[in-house]
Amino acid sequence: MNETRDGSHRASNTPSPPPIPPGQPAQAVPSAHLESTSPAPPVAPVSPTGLLIIDKQPGFTSMDVCAIIRARLRRAGAPKGVKVGHGGTLDPLATGVLVVLIGKATRLCDQVMATRKTYVTTIDLSRLSTTDDEAGECTPIDPALRATREDIERILPRFIGTIDQRPPAYSAINVGGRRSYELAREGTPIKLASRKVDIHGIRVEAFDWPKLSIVVECGKGVYIRSLARDVGAALGVGGMLSSLRRTESGQFSIEQAARLDQLPDKLTQADLLPLPSSP
């Protein structure tokens, strides 16, 4: 029976639990006598959005860097499917500016790739390589072959402007559904077709035979390894890349970049740069 406000009683629609006999332990109250509560639905983690300007170190591929950053974002609570991409590949031996795009910023990948890039590179004119860099099988040229600073200044202008460039056999270009470097490693003869690329400027930074250091400003799709090979061929000597560092990618410079070991182990939204108004 339940008591009403005026002190009278009325029958309850809910049966009372049976009395507990003396000496018996209390039993759990039946669920019919408890208020039903439903747990709050889990809150889905919010995907961070922004940029990181990385100073990539040798030994890492560009996708290695993306995978490491993705793991650090997830460690801080980002969703499992958080998107991470980059705005232009750097070879494992190369260093410098790698623009990493996170979340909705990955929509800018093509725009970042299309921006002008600046490289500082050293070419070894005394050797040739199967990969056009230090990673391949290297062959020294005849020691009697030499080039002078005057020779170099004379031939460099032919590589400025819109030129035809043949990519290296050891590259990620798709050939019949497979990567060119996979076929090259298997010993399949590969000679990729030339393509049009834009080189805006080349400046000699230093020359001490056989090492030639140049600064290159260029557009999308330029292989600096191919440039090293072709400069050497134009001089009648060797030509392979011995070092490569990207110092600028669009509006982003090496001064803004951080190495992976300088970043937190857990990356949050607060660690990211905001989306630029234009890449």
Which residues are catalytic, by number? Answer: 91
Q: What is the C-alpha separation between 7 and 202, in angstroms, rounded?
A: 100
Between CA 33 and CA 39, with CA 35 as vertex, the angle to 5 degrees is 140
Of 96, 15, 84, nearest to 57 by C-alpha is 96
Report which DSSP code applies to 18: P
DSSP-assigned letters across all residues of 112-176: HHTS-EEEEEEEETTEEETTSBTTS-EEE--TT----HHHHHHHGGGGSEEEEEPPPSSS--EET
Distance of CA 142 to the CA centre of its chain: 40
CA–CA separation, 241 and 127 (whole Å): 9
Q: In this structure, are residues 246 and 117 in contact, taking their beta carbons and an 8 Å threshold?
A: yes
